[in-house]
Structure 1
Amino acid sequence: MQAIRSILFHAAFYSLTTLLAIFGLPILLRDRRGVQAYARFWTGTSIWLLDKVGGVKVEFRGLDRLPQGGCIIAAKHQSALETLALTTITHDFSYVLKRELMGIPIFGWYLSGAGQIAIDRAKRGQAMADLIKQVGEAAAQGRQIFIFPEGTRRQAGAPPDYKSGVAHLYAATGAICAPVALNTGLFWPRSGPLRSGTAVIEFLPPLAPGLDKKTFANRLQTEIEAATAALIAEAVADDPGLKTALAD
């Protein structure tokens, strides 16, 4: 039954995405806030479909810890789920993403119109300086900047692989950082069908500006990993079958 729900969800999700992308093209004539509002309609509808069709609910915890105004939100990344869901609870968001995504027809137009922050990895040394400038400007405008410290999705339970980029951004911009733990990879894995249940996305206590980079990096990884492990353990205790989604 769950396999069928998973197939139906993916069919509905990709159909919705295609239709909204095509019929929403006039939205690109609006400003960043207008494009983001349309994006939130897409992501909100997708999360609704995930619940009603796919059998996966999303629970947010610690929303009262989300800083108001400009900040860096450093989130664990296990699934497409958090990429969608996090946009629904922020007012003016930007994801740090690779510039190649901006070149995808239609999809890239929406990313650009919504004011997302692209990093050109081909520039090597200059890439971080450009990123610091963009993130600093966005934070000064009161925007909430999402970054995945490990750079890419990691299977639930996989050993951590944090990069240094988020620590450089934190130190250079002086922005407050909100760590985010989650267990989404148990329910919407990178490959394979959805698994029913409640995926949890938890905001942890923010890290105030002023820490040195090494202390910040250690605290960020330690706190996110501990909270993520607890969320995974909680989910597996409720449904032992979720163990099959964990990395070996």
Structure 2
Amino acid sequence: MVDKHHPPLLQRTTGEKIRAIPRSALWLIGAMVWTLFFGTIGIIIALFLPYYRRYWFFLQWSFGLLWWTRVACGIRYEIEGEENIPEKPCVVMCKHQSAWETLAPQYWFNPQTWVLKKELLKVPMVGWALGMLSPIAIDRSARKEAMQQMLDQGRARLADGRWIIVYPEGTRIPAGYSGQYRRGGAVLAWETGTPVVPVAHNAGESWPRNSLLKYPGVIRVRIGKPMQPTTAPSADAFLDEIREWIESNTRELSQVYEEPAPSAGASTGGR
């Protein structure tokens, strides 16, 4: 697993940081106002809506926040491989560097649900809204129970025609590094015979994790062709294939990169 105390490989100059302060502050004010609206009036309205209308309603929060990120911070994106998205919903496994990729996949995979830590549902406003959208919320401290919960709920969500978004590193990893991949998403795909759509990007270079500062730039996103679980002899081998694709393509998209961690993880994946 990545050393969380290691300084980021991408070092910003003092001038870049100073210029980012007013734009980042403006973004924060706008994001707080937008979130406060959806976290109060929005949640009350959504209580009276059926699932798909409720989902569409909260989708506007994500789209509005991404629009504001582009306007206030100058962060745009370019996408490759959009033609690789299959018509039938499946499992999406995405590189995790920032908060940007928790919002942007809603442009391409809808309706979707997420594998996430159940603690996130306790976060005021955002967590409450997530709880209204039927996520797969797992207790990562109980690995066996969490895996079975993921399988049971994952099958149900797929049967309902929802994409399942998995961040296999389990937590945001600094741009240029690779985290330990958790096996939950690969096991779900393996057990259900569901293809995995891999997604690589370099969002952490413009929107660093654990930082209030955001930097103008173009986030490059690459969506791969669906990977079939039948091509590997086991779920762990399938996870290795997915990890290799995501990391090698992230390396191509990024300005900086360090050699990835040598092996996949042993617990379930989550946001």
**TM-score, length-scaled by structure 2:** 0.82
- For 2:179 and 2:127, the matched residues in 1 are separated by 29
Q: Which residue of 2 aligns with 1:91?
A: 110
User: SS where residue 148 of structure 2 aligns?
Assistant: helix
Q: What is aligned with 1:213? A: 235
Contact 2:113–2:163 (8 Å) recurs in 1: yes
8 Å contact 1:92–1:143 — kept in the other structure?
yes
Task: Give the Å deviation of 1:74.
Answer: 0.2
- Structure-to-structure mapping, 1:127-142, within 5 angstroms: 127-142=146-161
Q: Which AA in structure 2 matches 1:52?
A: V
- CA distance in structure 1 between the aligned counterparts of 2:47 and 2:258, rounded to whole angstroms: 40
How far did residue 26 of structure 1 move?
1.5
The alignment partner of 1:198 has SS state of strand
**Residue 226 of structure 1: CA displacement?**
0.6
Shift of 1:76: 0.3
User: Which whole-Å CA distance do the structure 2 matches of 1:7 and 1:65 have between them?
Assistant: 37
Q: Is the 8 Å Cα contact of residues 114 and 164 (structure 2) preserved in structure 1?
A: yes
For structure 1, the 5+ residue unaligned runs are 234-242
Report the secondary structure of 2:181's partner residue.
coil
Distance 1:90 1:223 in 2: 19
Counterparts in 2 of 1:108-119, with a 5 A limit? Answer: 108-119=127-138
Corresponding residue pairs, total: 237
1:35 aligns with 2:57: no
Q: Tell me which residue corresponds to 1:160.
A: 179
Structure 1 position 157, deviation (Å): 0.7
User: In structure 2, which of residues 198, 207, 221 is the aligned counterpart of residue 179 of structure 1?
Assistant: 198
Q: Which runs of 4+ in 1 moved over 4 A?
A: none
* C-alpha separation in 1, matches of 2:240 and 2:144: 24
- Sequence identity (%): 31
**Could you tell me whether the CA contact under 8 Å between 1:78 and 1:154 is conserved in 2?**
yes
Q: What is the rounded CA distance, in whole Å, between the counterparts of 1:115 and 1:28 in structure 2? A: 13
Counterpart residue identity of residue 217, structure 2: G
Alpha-carbon distance, 1:28 to partner: 2.3
Match status 1:204 vs 2:235: no
* Alignment partners' CA distance in 2, 1:72 and 1:134: 13
| Aligned-CA RMSD value | 1.8
AA matched with 1:6: S
- The Cα shift of 1:95 comes to 0.7
Q: Distance in 2 between matches of 1:193 and 1:247?
A: 23
- Residues 121 and 128 of structure 2 are in contact (CA less than 8 Å); yes or no, is this contact kept in structure 1? yes
Question: Please, which runs of 5 or more residues in structure 2 have no aligned partner?
Answer: 1-18, 260-271
C-alpha separation between the residues in 1 aligned to 2:116 and 2:178? 22
Q: Tell me by how many angstroms 1:38 deviates.
A: 1.4
Question: What's the offset of the Cα at 1:112?
Answer: 2.1
1:1-248 matches, cutoff 5 A: 1-24=19-42, 25-190=44-209, 191-210=211-230, 211=232, 212-233=234-255
Matched residues in 2 for 1:75 and 1:144: separation? 13
Return the structure number with greater helix share.
1
Is the 2:98–2:204 Cα contact (8 Å) retained in structure 1?
yes
CA contact (8 A) 2:35 2:126 kept: no
In 2, Cα distance between equivalents of 1:138 and 1:124: 20
